[in-house]
Structure 1
Amino acid sequence: MIVRGREHGLTCVELVVALVLAVAATAWMLPVTARAWRYADLEVTANRLLVHLRTMQQLAQTHGVYGLVRMSGFTPDYALYLGNGTQCLGQYAFLPGVNYFDGYLQLNTPNIQYDVAGNSQVGGVIRLVDGPDEADIHLYLGSGLQTLTMGGAGS
C-alpha cells in the first residue's frame, strides 16, 4: 500500500536505532541477570548443605550410629559418613563461584559429628560467599540445631 509516495516498512536508520536500543537493553540486563544467578547458586548451595546436615542428624538418631559431615577446610566441598566415618554416603561440591568466606572453613574442626541423640559438639558459623552475597549456617554447640541466614546485597 502506498501513502503519498511512500511504502510502509522500516528504513535503514530505523533498523539501526532499534538494534542499538536492543543492544543497550541487553548490556544493561546482563550484570543484573548474572548477579541473580550467582545469588541463586549461593542459596541452593547453602540450602543443600543445611539439608545434608539435618539428614545426617536424623540418620544418627534413627540408626543409632554417629553421623558425620566432613567439611573440606580449603576446598568448597564436603562428604557425608555414617558410623565414625566408616560408611561414605556421598561427596558433594559447592556450585561454581560459591566458596567459604576468605577461602577457608572457619570452624574449630572440619568434622561435624552427630551422636545418637542428634546432638553435635561443634558450634560456630559456616559462612559461604559468592561475590558480595553471603549465607551463614549457624551450628549451635551441644544441641545439634542448625539455622540458615542469607545476607548481602542480593537479598
Structure 2
Amino acid sequence: MLSTLEVVTTVVVGLMVGVEFSVAFIMNRILDALPEDSGQLGHAHGGRMLGALMPFWYVGSLVLSTIWAAAGRHHHGTGLVVTAAGLLIVSVVMSVLLLVPINNRNKTWTPDNRPADWKQQLHRWNRYHYVRVAVLIAAFTLLVGALT
C-alpha cells in the first residue's frame, strides 16, 4: 500500500510541476507574443481556468506527501518526504500570499477595465511564479529521491 501511495504522490506532484513549468516558460511567452489585447485576454482566461483547479492540486499534493511521510516514518527516505512536504507548504503559502491576489485581479480584467499597471502586475506574478516553480521542482526531486 505504501508503494502505491509513493507512486501516486510522485506522479501527482510531477504533473503539477509540469503544468506550472509549462505556464512559466511556454504559455506565458506564447500569450505575451499575441497581438493587441489577445495576450491579456489569454492571461485572464488562464487565470480563471487554472485558478479554479490549482488550489485542489496544491493542497492534494501536500496532503498526499504528508500521508506518505506519516505512513513511511520508519522507512528510508522519510526525511526527504518531510522536506518535500515542507517545500509544498512554502509553495501554498507563496500562492496564497503573493500569487493569488494578483491572479484574482487579473482574471477579471478586460481591455476596457484593466488598470494602467496591468503589465507590471503580470510581470510581478511571473517573478513570483518562477520562484514557486523552483520550489516545486525541489519538492518533486526530493520525492523522487525518496523512492530510491
Give the alignment's TM-score, normalised by structure 1.
0.42
TM-score w.r.t. length of structure 2: 0.43
Greater relative contact order (CA < 8 Å, ≥ 6 in sequence): 2
Q: Greater share of strand residues, 1 or 2?
A: 1
Considering only CA atoms, is the larger Rg found in Structure 1 or Structure 2? Answer: 1
More helix by percentage: 2
